[in-house]
């Protein structure tokens, strides 16, 4: 490698690669004003209509019919979930509130919030913000242990200050000391209907 190539790669990275630089990695902290607005949104028709539209889209997508809003299904033996792609008609704050609402809904199923993280990374000319809630079922001591739907991870992703998607994935344990995970579609139906 020539001296020029060495200096160029130090300044701009190697050609054809994009370097990733972590700018922020912290626990999510919501302000009281955010929480107040979020609680008001949860009680609004906008929220219940949005959830109903998402459930209808999920329900029909499982049966091979595409509906709006667009939902992608993530299905495998031990991991099931969905991804909701952002559209401007949802509104940025509604989409952000949805991320926290999904975690609240899962908690109502006897889950505990293990971790909530906020990260910001620079990937080339893209600044990616990712927020993640990680939830686990409250653990029993009698085997086989009821794992409910498995561990649930919810992610909210933005690129250059624009929301892109929300993902929710439930990962179950194949271990014999756990009961078989419950049907993921039941989880989806529950979280897309408002509970108090």
Per-residue pLDDT tens for 36-62?
Answer: 999 999 999 999 999 999 999 999 999
Helical axes 45-62 vs 184-191, angle rounded to 10°: 160
Separation between Cα atoms, residue 38 and residue 178, nearest integer Å? 36
What is the pLDDT, as a whole number, of residue 196? 55
Q: Which residues pair with 158 in a beta bridge?
A: 129, 163
What is the pLDDT, as a whole number, of residue 151? 97
Q: Which two tokens stand for residue 102?
A: 């999904």
Contacts of 109 (CB under 8 A, 6+ apart): 137, 148, 149, 187, 190
Ranges in the chain, pLDDT < 50 = none
Contacts of 42 (CB under 8 A, 6+ apart): 97, 101, 104, 194
What is the pLDDT, as a whole number, of residue 80? 96
Per-residue pLDDT tens for 153-162?
Answer: 999 999 999 9
Separation between Cα atoms, residue 55 and residue 190, nearest integer Å? 9
User: In angstroms, how far is CA 125 from the centroid of its own chain?
Assistant: 24
CA distances from 65 to 12, 171, 177 (A): 46, 25, 37
């Amino acid at each position: 490698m020539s001296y020029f190539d060495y200096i160029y790669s130090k300044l701009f990275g190697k050609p054809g690669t994009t370097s990733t630089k972590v700018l922020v990695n912290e626990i999510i902290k919501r302000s009281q004003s955010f929480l107040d607005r979020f609680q008001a949104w949860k009680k609004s028709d906008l929220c219940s209509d949005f959830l109903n539209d998402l459930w209808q889209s999920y329900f029909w997508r499982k049966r091979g019919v595409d509906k709006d809003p667009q939902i992608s299904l993530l299905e495998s033996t031990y991991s099931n979930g969905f991804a909701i792609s952002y559209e401007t008609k949802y509104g940025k704050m509604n989409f952000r509130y949805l991320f926290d609402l999904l975690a609240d809904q899962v908690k109502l199923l006897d889950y505990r919030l293990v971790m909530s993280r906020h990260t910001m990374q620079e990937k080339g000319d893209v600044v990616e913000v990712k927020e993640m809630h990680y939830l686990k079922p409250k653990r029993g001591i009698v085997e086989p242990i009821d794992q409910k739907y498995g561990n649930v991870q919810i992610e909210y992703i933005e690129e250059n200050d624009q929301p892109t998607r929300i993902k929710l994935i439930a990962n179950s344990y194949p271990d014999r000391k756990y009961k078989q995970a419950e049907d993921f579609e039941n989880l989806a139906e529950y979280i897309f209907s408002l509970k108090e």
